[in-house]
Chain A
Amino acid sequence: MNAVTTSPKLHDCRDAFVSVLERLGAENPRIVAVCNDSVGSSKLGGFKNLFPERLINVGIAEQNMVGVGAGLANGGLLPFVCGASCFLTGRSLEQVKADIAYSNANVKLIGISSGMAYGELGPTHHSIEDFAWTRVLPNLPVVAPCDSVETAAAVEWAASYPGPVFLRLSRVGVPDLLPQGHRFQPGKADMLRDGDAVTLIANGTLTHRMIKAAAILAHEGIEARVLNMATVRPIDVEAVVAAVRDTGAILTAEEHSVYGGLGSAIAEVVVAEAPAPMKLLGVPGVFAPTGSAEFLLDEYGMAPTAVAEAAKALIARKSGRA
């Protein structure tokens, strides 16, 4: 179990991403960054200054961007292809499927500003479908780190992993939860808190909300297990089965549609391996209204207090009281 730190400072995980990318770029001349006029939003300005010839900006052309990434990998480079997640996955999904996943090209896809980070810009810019679109593709690990520590560790891992990766990052500030020096293990959940009444599972910007919800529950004498499950594919079957065995119920929360994302991936394990009551929190299959990411997460029942209430209702279902 990882000790949870309670740093009140909020971090933009893009900073951790580029900090590691710049360091790795200095060590490995084969690392290149590819983007779609997103030097600013992907925070690649520093990389560009350090390695101008290794920053490939294709302009506003995502299909070409992903295809070019596959070609760069074929030529022996290690491309990090960066773009707003909504466009990187949505606009070029067929390139992600054929050129990257099916071809097994050693390309790292970095989805920036995922989820509802662009809340106010509306549903065209929300990326609450990207787990569903990407996690059905063979060969493509799908990872959404929960804080800057895990982001840095996941980028380091992705660079060393000899195959495609989809890394889903946000721009919404999150507190550091994992200890410095944390090593990322793909497909392995981190238990941030143990308990026996219910398991709360999340990733990305939702994990710290689960910690807070668990604290609220603890005040009422309810001990919740909290799992940070950054890897959506391959899902950590063992951790899910153990959660059912030890706590009897699972609540999931994600900055994604409730259809096809982390909750669905966990539910697939639960129905097949360890049937138990579940509650899936997320965007309930609608185009979300205008508002900040934080506002929208609260709006859809993912404020820590609301999560605690949902957890209590789930616990009641578990024991047949609802």
Chain B
Amino acid sequence: MQPNDLDRIARQIRLRDLQAVYEAGAGHIGGEMSAIDILTALYFGVLRIQPDQPRNPDRDRFVLSKGHVALALYVTLAKRGYIPEDEIKTFLKPHSRLNGHPNCNKVPGVETNTGPLGHGLPVAVGMAKAAKILGAGYHTYVLTGDGEMQEGSNWEAISSAAQFGLNNLTLIIDHNRFQQGAALKETNDLAPFATKLAAFGWDVTEIDGHAMTEIVPALEKRGDRPHCIVAHTNKGHGISFMQDRSDWHHRVPNAEQYKIALAELSEAM
């Protein structure tokens, strides 16, 4: 699939995500917009997966560690054929399997339950280590938020991945510079990430996390060590008044804002 095609799909996913947040009256729209280009590149360009065989042992693994952007994953999974597209309208409804954080026992395509931060990377290390032990060829990808990297468990896992020589593991840090209540630099600024990961023995690539021409090659890069992609992104990307505003972490647009956001995303299509 060409970068233009991926961009088109990403815009469709953004639009559906926005609509679902507005309809459900909840979501984590800022971080969803920052992650959607990466999710699109993974599911439509890179992952070796078969939606009708979500437990195929040879499938590439993707772990959404920043589980609060579950909606963006649901929309992507629906578009890729894992769940009915029509089901997105049940997001957060009573008894819907599409709750605020992804559930691997209910939603095909979800690999492990996330929600509390700092969980996905250790699990991804286990997946990659299992492939090494079994001689399996699948690759494991995990997406974390940059604020999430403040959790100490991630650094336990980063150290482990290097120790185990997991060159079949790719960590993508969605570096949108904002967490729930503040900019990272106002709380516990871990940036720059690249030097830290390199010091732990990882290969590091820094990219524009909204440019398909940079995302896809970075995801496909292979080497001798675990690979970290520091994806420079914008919280709320694609919607002007949300961009780079931490207060849009989980706000819901009002009717007027929704109209503006719809227009902006539609215009881009």
Contacts and interface: CB of A to CB of B under 8 A. Distances in A.
A and B assemble together: yes
Interface stretch (A94-102, A127-135, A217-225): A94-102
A67 B133 contact: no
A59 B112 CA distance: 23
Given A94-B116, A99-B113, A102-B113, A64 B130 contact: no
A67 B157 contact: yes
Contacts of A94: 116, 119
A73 B129 CA distance: 10
A70 to B, nearest CB: 5
Contacts of A58: 156, 160
A261 interface: no
A68 B134 contact: no
B61 A64 contact: no
A64 B157 contact: yes
Contacts of B112: 70-71, 74, 99, 103, 105
B57 interface: yes
Given A54-B133, A58-B160, A75-B136, A63 B122 contact: yes
Interface in A60-109: 61, 63-64, 66-77, 79, 94-95, 98-99, 102-105
Interface in B129-178: 129-131, 133-134, 136, 140, 152-153, 156-157, 159-160, 163
Contact of A67 (B111, B119, B152, B163): B119
Interface size class for chain B? 35 or more
B73 to A, nearest CB: 15
B123 A32 contact: no
B114 interface: yes
B150 to A, nearest CB: 14
A61 B104 contact: no
Residue among B118, B128, B133 having the largest count of chain A Cβ atoms under 10 Å: B133
B201 to A, nearest CB: 14
Nearest to A67: B122
B119 A56 contact: no
B125 interface: yes
Given A76-B57, A98-B115, A103-B113, A67 B105 contact: no
A75 B56 CA distance: 10
Interface of A: 30, 32, 53-54, 56, 58-59, 61, 63-64, 66-77, 79, 94-95, 98-99, 102-105
- Top 4 A-B residue pairs of the complex, sorted by shortest distance between their CB atoms: A71-B126, A75-B130, A67-B122, A64-B156
Interface of B: 57, 61, 103-105, 111-116, 118-119, 121-131, 133-134, 136, 140, 152-153, 156-157, 159-160, 163
Given A63-B152, A68-B125, 20 more contacts: A30-B134, A53-B133, A58-B156, A59-B163, A61-B159, A64-B122, A64-B156, A67-B153, A68-B123, A71-B126, A71-B128, A71-B140, A72-B126, A72-B127, A72-B129, A74-B123, A75-B126, A77-B133, A79-B126, A95-B122
13 contacts: A61-B156, A61-B159, A61-B160, A63-B153, A63-B156, A67-B123, A68-B123, A68-B126, A72-B126, A74-B130, A75-B126, A77-B134, A102-B113
